[in-house]
Structure 1
């Protein structure tokens, strides 16, 4: 059971449990930096070997489309339509 937070006088906001408040900006900044690094790497990979990058995109698309097709077949089998 959580202990009750003390009440504040009228006109003053009640205290909050902000133990994770200091961690949120750090995590947000780390995610932003990792995102920019990933984007920079992708641009570098596309410019240095566009043929290989195209092959990767094509293969990835085939994997995703095959996954959706398999998912559809599964639900058809579950619903006894296939």
Structure 2
């Protein structure tokens, strides 16, 4: 992907995120909380997997 196109897409994403937070902060916080839960569960599952390999 050309560098200019990548830069434009990143800026569009940032603008969209700011707009989403501004127009609906409650919904935006729910989305962030859900993403955080997914990340935490993935790390915990990976840790359990490694623990099962070692133990």
TM-score interval, normalised by the smaller of the two chains: over 0.9
Count of equivalent residues? 55
* TM-score relative to the length of structure 1: 0.65
- 1:59 equivalent in structure 2: 34
Aligned alpha-carbon RMSD (Å): 1.0
Q: Does 1:28 pair with 2:3?
A: yes
Larger radius of gyration: 1
Which structure has the higher relative contact order (CA within 8 Å, separation 6+)?
2
> Corresponding residue for 1:40?
15
In structure 1, the gaps of 5 or more residues are 1-25
Where do 5+ consecutive residues of structure 2 fail to align? none
Structure 1 runs, 4 residues or longer, greater than 4 Å off: none
TM-score (norm 2): 0.96
Q: Give CA deviations for 1:31-51 in whole Å, capped at 9, x if unaligned.
A: 000000000000000000000
